Amino acid sequence: MWLKESIQKLFYRSWVPLTITLIIEFAIFEIIGRKQGQPGFASFSTIILILNQLSIFGIMAVGMTFVIMSGGIDLSIGSIGAMSGVISAMMAVHFASISGSFVPLSFLIGILLGMVIGIIMGSIITLWDIPPFIVTLAFMSLLRGLANIITNGKPISPVPEEFLFLGRGLWVQFIPVSIIIFGLIFFTGLIILNYTSIGRHTLAIGGNEESARLSGVPVKKTKLLVYILCSTFSALAGVILASRMGSGSPKVGVGDELAVIASVVIGGTSLSGGKGSLWGTLLGLCVVFTLNSGLNWIGIETFGQQVTLGFVILSAVLMDKLQGKIKEQQGP
pLDDT tens digits, residue range 191-210? 999 999 999 999 999 999 99
> Is residue 282 over pLDDT 80?
yes
Give the chain's domain count. 1
At residue 124, does pLDDT exceed 90? yes
Q: Is 216 helix (H, G, I), strand (E, B) or coil?
A: coil
Give 2's pLDDT tier (boundaries 50, 70, 90): very low
**From CA 273, how far away is CA 72, in angstroms rounded?**
7
Q: Could you list the residue range(s) of the whole structural domain that residue 207 is in?
A: 48-253
Say if 154 falls within a structural domain: yes
Cα(113)–Cα(121) distance, rounded to whole angstroms?
A: 12
Is the whole-model pTM more than 0.85?
Answer: yes
Cα atoms in the Cβ-side hemisphere of radius 13 Å centred on 216? 1
Question: What is the per-residue pLDDT across 219-244, written as a single tens digit (0 to 9) for each?
Answer: 999 999 999 999 999 999 999 999 99
Percentage of residues of the chain with pLDDT beyond 90: 60
More confident residue, 299 or 131: 131
Instruction: Give a yes or no: residue 315 inside a domain.
Output: no
* Residue 101 placed within a domain: yes
190 falls within a domain: yes
Give the whole-angstrom CA distance, residue 135 versus residue 156. 28
pLDDT in tens, 133-155: 999 999 999 999 999 999 999 99
Assess if residue 66 is contained within a domain. Answer: yes
Whether residue 174 is predicted with pLDDT greater than 60 in this model: the reply is yes
Mean pLDDT computed over every residue of the chain:
88
42 lies in some domain? no
275 secondary structure, DSSP code: -
pLDDT at 316: 67
- The answer to whether position 234 is within a domain reads yes
More confident: 258 or 120: 120
Element (H, E) at 176: strand 175-176
In this structure, how many other beta carbons lie within 10 angstroms of the beta carbon of residue 10? 12
Which residues are bridge partners to 176 per DSSP?
170
Domain for residue 84, yes or no? yes
Task: Kindly list the distances between the CA atom of residue 113 and the CA atoms of 18, 120, 122, 126, 314, in Å, as whole numbers in the listed order.
Answer: 35, 11, 14, 20, 34
Mean pLDDT, to the nearest integer, of 97-102? 84
